[in-house]
Amino acid sequence: MFNKHDHSGFHSRITGVDQKTLVYGEHTLMTEFRLKKDHQVPRHSHPCEQTGYMIAGEMILTIGSTPHRCLPGDSWCIPMNMEHQAEIIKDSIAIEIFSPVREDYLPVRKEGR
């Protein structure tokens, strides 16, 4: 799968957090997150390993009970079923890869495609 960069296709599941699935394969799925200052990603877990890279901004990412101040160039790996949350300090952009594929992040296919 190959995907050309464009600014369309983002949607929001959480207020202040826009996301777009970029590409996916049999075992991994890559998503871009645009996170707005003063918003939060609530504490949650899922049966996917989550590996991320901070492109821009600043946030506090709490993995388990340990908070991490994330700045551009920082990266992380959250084990499967580990609770985590994020507090967005500045408008931010992060890329995250999920394995196995998060079925709920797969793009909705339009009829005839």
Mean pLDDT lowest for which of 8-12, 35-39, 45-49, 98-102? 8-12
At 83 the pLDDT is 98
Domains and CATH numbers, the chain: 29-104 (2.60.120.10)
Phi first, then psi: what are they for 35, rounded to 5°? -115, 130
**What's the pTM?**
0.90
Specify whether the CB–CB gap between 94 and 73 falls below 8 A: no
What's the pLDDT tens digit per position in 59-102?
999 999 999 999 999 999 999 999 999 999 999 999 999 999 99
At 75 the pLDDT is 98
Q: Is the pLDDT of residue 112 over 70?
A: no
Distance CA 31, CA 9 (A): 11
- What is the DSSP track for 20-32? EEEEE-SS-EEEE
Distance CA 92, CA 99 (A): 23
At 109 the pLDDT is 59
